[in-house]
Chains A and B, each alone.
Chain A
Amino acid sequence: MKLKKKIPLIDQHDKYGFWGGKFGGSFIPETLKKPIEDLTIKFEKLRKDEKFIKKRDFYFKNYVGSPTSFVKLKNLSNHLGGAQIWAKVVSEANGGAHKIYNATVHALICKAMGKKYIVGDTGAGYAGKMLSMAAKKFGLKCKIFMGAKDIRRQKPNCDAMKKNGAEIVPVYSGSQTLVDAVSECMRYWVSNCDNTHMCVGSTVGPNIFVKICGWSTAQISRELKTQLIKEFKRMPKLVKLINCVGGGSSAYGFWSEFIDYNKKQIELIGVEAGGPKNSKLHAAPLSRNAKIGILHGAASYVCQNNEGQIHETESISAGLDYPGVSPIHCFLKDVKRARYTFASDEDALNAYKLVTRFEKLNPSLEPSHAFAEAIKIAPKLSKDTICIVNSCGDAKKDRDILKQRLGKY
């Protein structure tokens, strides 16, 4: 198992769609073979089509609002001592999170395929909110599948989806979170794939969805690379790119341009959701050594029991509360290019408190997990180390949870 240089990681799979021979693939019912094949052909064509690229770049610039800013968190760095902490403020993107990149691209593909309906899953509600925005923008009818528990805990995003004219389909099966929403969305697609396009909200699912999502969020690292070189005149010698990992779409997007660099120069650190401190449940398949399993059409490390039943997960962050993870992160873990760790609910809350105390930044609970790791390691690192956190979501959606846990928002 080896990483190849100069080939985007999303393209480093074999003919059956596996990265490293064992992660990914397309474990799908026969009915979805054809729609997935059609989508694959279309996507491979579109990504080589200059007109389509121009269109994508136009919307990324004028609709998403690229580039998002890259800022030094001076006060936080001074407080902690040690490494410099920087943030790529992706939450500035239209809608408040990185999910807008994937949603915009899927809406463009849906249009190009001549389909009028688009469906998607959501956990934190960002993927759903952004898809509903993009659908509205491009004149598509939109349905969002969301676990009933998540609907309760992420109300602001649900309100936004409704305002954009999307229908939210509550999912009551299983743990009533993201895992069930994805299952239900796939079931809906099985039944309606003739006229409906499906958007998977992260770099998970059958191979092609991992690729489309990764191709979309990769914009983040293209921007960052330019910004880094502009800021430091050249690529700095010691960089740490710290990102939260649920499905892994923002982390892949944040890292994709930097994977070819030596890990001693640019270290990639993924932070999963460790769940409540005293709970056995978590959503950290990579860092807590889950076994490989098949979930939602792909092989990856999955929180599951010996019998292959998928475990319930628990995290304060709905966006990270998922038992599986992207096959490309499994691959990055196994080839040791990225390092994965986890932060508990409490760590994330404390990080949120500290960041908001020192900086004019309001990271949602997902990137607060990444900040927790940055806060932990920064004091031990040299002054010339550049720790960059992808602040990939805005905390507006978490106001109810934050009020409840911290007494204020």
Chain B
Amino acid sequence: MRNSLIHQTFKISKSENRPALLTYTVAGDDTKKKSLEILKSISKYADICELGFPHNTPIADGGQIQTSAYRAIKNGIKINDVFSIAAQFKKLKKNKPIILMGYYNMIYQYNENRFIKKCQKSKIDGLIVVDLPFPENKTFAKKCKKKNINFVQLISPTTSQTRLKQIIKNSHDMIYYISMLSTTGGKLKVSPQKILKEYSKIKKQNSSKNVVIGFGITEKTIKSLKKADGLVVGSAICKEITDSIKKRQNTVTNVTNVVKRLKNKIK
């Protein structure tokens, strides 16, 4: 998958000497229409957009993303709506990679093959499945690769050295490093130096892999991790949506401003 859009995007950000900025929003938060608008607007600054399938039993997500997910479900979002948001986005922004993220039960209920087909049709660039770890994900990851969809492997501070090697060997263009022991949106409780040290262990194994860091990244902490290939911000964005709704302000403008500020900090 050397020529994947995801890989090319990292190439560009590297040539500009900065990490790629990855945003995460929940599809349908707070409505289908609004979440597409947010996606379109923040993609001016974001290099890669992650779009989450809302799930009502998310075991790895903290309060902010849970709130966004419950809101989206309450407003009636369905799996096919998520695909339609992604497809509409890709129609307008052909060169912007989009990664769908979710829990395995959605894929299981939708049927793996049908799900991958639908991804392909919607021009999805990558997939992250939170609760389908290696090696259980091997077959599914292979199916994705066949259809030119990047299956993103996750690595965490608890991942052993042997596992690390195997996961990297089985990874596609992008690897997601979880910065600390936490659900999404936790306070960064590990020093940036330590995170970058772990990060470089992955890079040492295979420097051609694009490794992004996520969990606990906010406007305050993003600059300290600038050395990474990419940085993911999710909960901070979801929180902005919640705050804007509470204050009856324009979510699209407010969220875009957050993403713009994030981008400026790592330029």
Contact = CB atoms under 8 A, between A and B. Distances in A.
A294 B159 contact: no
A194 B181 contact: yes
Contacts of B181: 31, 190-194
A407 interface: no
A187 B57 contact: no
A248 B139 CA distance: 31
The secondary-structure label for the interface of chain A is mixed
A190 B183 CA distance: 7
A160 to B, nearest CB: 28
Interface in B135-159: 136, 154-159
Contacts of A16: 136
Contact of A310 (B56, B133, B163): B56
B105 A33 contact: no
Interface in B106-151: 106, 108-110, 130-134, 136
A35 B183 contact: no
A306 B114 CA distance: 14
A27 B183 CA distance: 16
A31 B158 contact: yes
B159 A34 contact: yes
B103 A30 contact: no
Given A28-B133, A190-B59, A308 B159 contact: no
Interface string A295-311: 11101000010111110
Contacts of B59: 28-29, 183, 186-187, 190, 296-297
B79 interface: yes
A173 B105 CA distance: 19
Interface in A14-66: 16, 25-35
Given A31-B178, A33-B158, A296-B59, A308 B110 contact: yes
A42 to B, nearest CB: 15
B183 A306 contact: no
A187 B62 contact: yes
B4 interface: no
B198 to A, nearest CB: 13
Contacts of A193: 158, 181
B64 to A, nearest CB: 12
Nearest to A32: B158
B154 A29 contact: yes
A307 B80 CA distance: 10
A35 B158 CA distance: 8
Contacts of B70: 173-174
Most buried by B among A194, A291, A294, A308: A308
Contact of A309 (B73, B131, B155, B160): B73
A346 B161 CA distance: 56
Contact of A308 (B55, B60, B158, B178): B55
Nearest to A196: B181
A379 interface: no
B186 interface: yes
Interface in A303-324: 304, 306-310
Contact of A25 (B106, B136, B183, B186): B136
A179 B58 CA distance: 11
Contact of A28 (B73, B131, B155, B160): B131
Contact of B57 (A29, A33, A179): A179
A30 B156 contact: yes
B13 to A, nearest CB: 25
B182 interface: yes
A307 B158 contact: no
B142 to A, nearest CB: 16
A190 B105 contact: no
Contact of A27 (B61, B79, B132): B132
A293 interface: yes
Contacts of B132: 27
A307 B183 contact: no
Contact of B109 (A26, A34, A179, A293): A293
B159 A30 contact: yes
Contacts of A297: 59, 131
A309 B66 contact: no
A129 B228 CA distance: 46
Given A183-B57, A295-B105, A304-B105, 11 more contacts: A26-B133, A27-B104, A29-B133, A31-B181, A34-B156, A34-B158, A187-B62, A191-B183, A293-B109, A308-B79, A308-B103
Interface of A: 16, 25-35, 173-174, 179, 183, 186-187, 190-194, 291-297, 299, 304, 306-310
14 contacts: A28-B59, A30-B158, A30-B159, A31-B156, A31-B178, A174-B57, A187-B62, A187-B183, A295-B57, A296-B59, A297-B59, A307-B79, A308-B79, A308-B103
